[in-house]
Chain A
Amino acid sequence: MKVIQLKVNGGVYKVDIEEDMRLLDVLRDKLRLTGTKEGCGEGECGACTVIMDGVSVNACMVMAFQAEGKEIITIEGIQRKDELHPIQRAFLEEGAVQCGFCTPGMILSAKALLDRNPSPSRKEIREGISGNLCRCTGYNQIITSVEKASQYLRREEEEK
C-alpha cells in the first residue's frame, strides 16, 4: 500500500494505491472516473486513452505510481462548465458515436492531436487516431467530426 498524489482534470487527489495498480485501475476504481474504458488491457485498442502531461497514453500501460505528480486529463475533464467541448459536439453532430465504447479514448486522441496541430489533414487525423479502434462507425464519421472540431476550435481562437 502506498499513498500517491494525482492531478486529474485540474483537481489534486491523495489516493491509496496497491503497488501493482495501473493508472487505469486508479481512475476507474478509486476516483470513479469510469469514462475511461478498459478494452484490451494491452495497448492495442486505445479505449483507455488519457492525456498525461500533454501527450496521449494508454492508461492500461502506465503504472499508477508512475503517474504521481503528472497532469492527467480524462474524458470527464474536457467539458467546459455546462457546455460540451467542441470535439464532443462535433462527434454528436456527425454521428461519430454508435456503441460509444471507443468514444472517450477517441476524443482524447483527437484532443491531443488538435492541441498540437490545429489544422490537421484527413491523413493526419487518421494517423492521430490510429491507436484507437472503433468497431462500429468505419471511422469516416469520426474523421469528419475531428475535421469539424478543428474548425470550431479555430473559430473560437479567432473570436478571442
Chain B
Amino acid sequence: MEIKEVFRKKNVKETLEILEHYQEQCKIIAGGTDIIIQLREGIEKSSVLVDISNIEELKVVKETEKWIEIGSGVTFTEIAREFTLHDKFSALVEAAASVGSPQIRNAATIGGNICNASPAADFIPPLLALNAVVVLERKNAIREMCLEEFIIDKEKVALKADELLTKIRFKKLQTNQGLGFSKLGFRKALAISKISTAVFLELEENNKCKGTRIATGALGRHGLRERRVEEFLQEKALDPSTVHQGGRKLQKEIEKRLYGRPSLAFKKEAVIGIFHKAVDKAFKSCKIEGGI
C-alpha cells in the first residue's frame, strides 16, 4: 500500500473538491472493511484516500411522502436499527443483520456495499428488488441513476472518478406490496453469501401477481434481476404450484449461468429453497399495512 495523502472531510462539498482535484488517484473510504484489504493486497493502488465516515449529511435516513432515502454513509447496524419497527421492511433488517459480524456492521456502509459491487454483496439484491435509485454528486452537478444500471459488472459501477454516491432511494411499500429476503451462507455469522434472493411482490385480489421484481446475489457476476422468473409470475395467482414452477424457472437460469462451475451442483438445488423462503416472506410482508 502506497498512500501518500489522506483527507478527512466533514461535508460533501469539500469531499467533491478533493475528488475533482485528484480524480483517479483518489479513492473514497468509509467503513474501510473492503478497501483496506484491497489496499493491503495491492489490488487497489490509489495513492490518496478521502474519508467520508464523519460526514453527518451522509448518515441520514429520511422518509418523504412516497420515498425512503438512505444516506450512503449509513452503516448496517444503523439500517437494522432504523427499520426494526417497520415490520413491512423486515427484509431490510434481515439483509442488514446478515452482513459480516457486529464489528463489520458497525463500520460497513450501504454506499460501500453498492460501490464495491461484490457478486455476493448482501444488500444489493433487496435494493434491486425495490428498484432503488442512486444519487451521484460531483462538484456543481448531481445525477440519478437506477441501481440496476449503476452496477456494470463484477466489482464495477458507473461511478466517475470525481463523483460521490450520496443517497439511495426507493419507494415506500404500499399495503398490497411486500419484500422478502433469504440468504444462504456456510455458517451463521461472518458468512459470505453463497446464494441470496430478494423478492418484491405486488398482489391484487385472489393473490394475483400484479407486479414482481426478483433479484439474486452470488449467482452471477454481480447482483442481478431475474427477469425470466418475473415474467413467469406476472399475472399469475401466487399458489404453491406457481411458486414451485417459479423456482424451477430460476433453477434453469442458474444452470445456464453457472454452467461448468463446481458450485452449480449444490447451488441449483439450494436456490429453490432460498427462492421459496423469500417469496413466502414477501407474501407475508404484503399483508402488513403499508405506507410506512
Residues on A facing B (Cβ under 8 Å): 2, 19-20, 22, 41-44, 46, 49, 55-58, 60-63, 65-66, 68, 109, 112-113, 127-128, 130-132
What chain B residues lie within 8 Å of A112 (beta carbons)?
102
Partner of B102, one of A56, A61, A65, A66: A56
Q: Which residues of B contact A60 (CB under 8 A)?
A: 36
Q: Contacts of B4 on A, CB cut-off 8 Å? A: 19
List 10 additional A-B contacts (Cβ < 8 Å) besides A43-B37, A131-B101: A20-B2, A22-B36, A42-B37, A49-B103, A56-B102, A58-B33, A61-B107, A63-B32, A127-B102, A130-B188
Q: How would residues 95 to 108 of chain B score, 1 for a CB under 8 Å from any chain A CB and 0 otherwise?
A: 00000111110110
- By Cβ-Cβ distance, the 8 closest A-B pairs, closest first, are A131-B101, A130-B189, A55-B106, A19-B3, A20-B3, A131-B103, A20-B1, A65-B6
Q: Is the CB of B32 within 8 A of A62?
A: yes
Residues of B contacting A20 with CB < 8 Å? Answer: 1-3, 39
User: Is B49 on the interface with A (CB-CB < 8 A)?
Assistant: yes
B190 touches A130 (CB 8 A): yes
What are the residues of chain A within 8 A of B5 when measuring CB–CB?
A: 19
Contact residues in B for A127 (Cβ distance below 8 Å) = 102, 189
Q: In the bound complex, do residue A19 and residue B6 qualify as a contact, i.e. CB atoms below 8 Å apart?
A: yes
Q: Are B6 and A58 in contact (CB under 8 A)?
A: no
CB distance from A126 to the nearest CB of B (A): 9
- Whether, in the assembled complex, B18 has its beta carbon less than 8 Å from a beta carbon of chain A, the answer is no
**A56-B106, A61-B107, A130-B102 known; A66-B1 Cβ under 8 A:** no
Interface status of B113 (Cβ within 8 A of chain A): no
Which residues does chain A contribute within 8 Å of B6, judged by CB atoms?
2, 19, 63, 65
Q: With A19-B3, A60-B36, A66-B32 as known contacts, state yes or no: A131 contacts B100, CB within 8 Å.
A: yes
Query: A60 → chain B, closest Cβ, in Å?
Result: 7
Cα(A46)–Cα(B102), bound, Å: 10
Give the interface SS of chain A, mostly helix, strand, loop or mixed: mixed
- Interface 1/0s, chain B 19-43, versus A by CB < 8 A? 0000000000101110011011000
Minimum CB–CB distance from A116 to chain B (whole Å) comes to 10
CB of B51 closer than 8 Å to a CB of A: yes
* CA A61 to CA B30, docked complex, whole Å: 10
Query: Which one of A61, A113, A128, A130 lies within 8 Å of B32 (CB-CB)?
Result: A61
Residues of B within 8 A of A19 (CB): 3-6, 49
- Binary contact track B177-188/A, C-beta < 8 Å → 1, others 0: 000000000001
> Could you say which residues of chain A place their CB within 8 Å of the CB of B189?
127, 130-131
CB of A146, distance to nearest CB on chain B (Å): 13
Cα distance A55–B77 in the bound complex, in angstroms: 10
Q: Which of B2, B53, B104 is within 8 Å of A58, CB to CB?
A: B104
Contacts of A2 in B (CB 8 A): 6
On chain B, the residues within 8 Å of A109 by CB distance are 102-103
CB-nearest residue of chain A to B4: A19
Known contacts A19-B5, A57-B103, A58-B104; A66/B190 CB under 8 A: no
B8 at interface, CB cutoff 8 A: yes
For the complex, what is the distance from the CA of A122 to the CA of B37, rounded to whole Å? 32
> In chain B, what residue has the closest Cβ to A130?
B189
Q: Which residues of B contact A56 (CB under 8 A)?
A: 102-103, 106
* Given A19-B3, A20-B1, A41-B40, also A66-B103 (CB < 8 A): no
Separation of A62 and B104 alpha carbons in the complex (Å): 11
Is the beta-carbon distance between A63 and B51 smaller than 8 angstroms?
A: yes
CB of B187 to closest CB in A, whole Å: 9
Cβ of A65 and Cβ of B51 under 8 Å apart? yes
Return the chain A residue nearest B32 by Cβ: A61
| Interchain CB contact under 8 A, A43 and B29 | no
Contact across chains for A57 and B107 when beta carbons are under 8 A apart: yes
User: In the complex, what residues of B have CB within 8 A of residue A132's CB?
Assistant: 101
- The complex places the Cα of A22 from the Cα of B51 at a distance, in Å, of 13
Complex Cα distance, B33 from A7, in Å, reads 22
Interface string of B182-218 (1 = CB under 8 A from A): 0000001110000000000000000000000000000
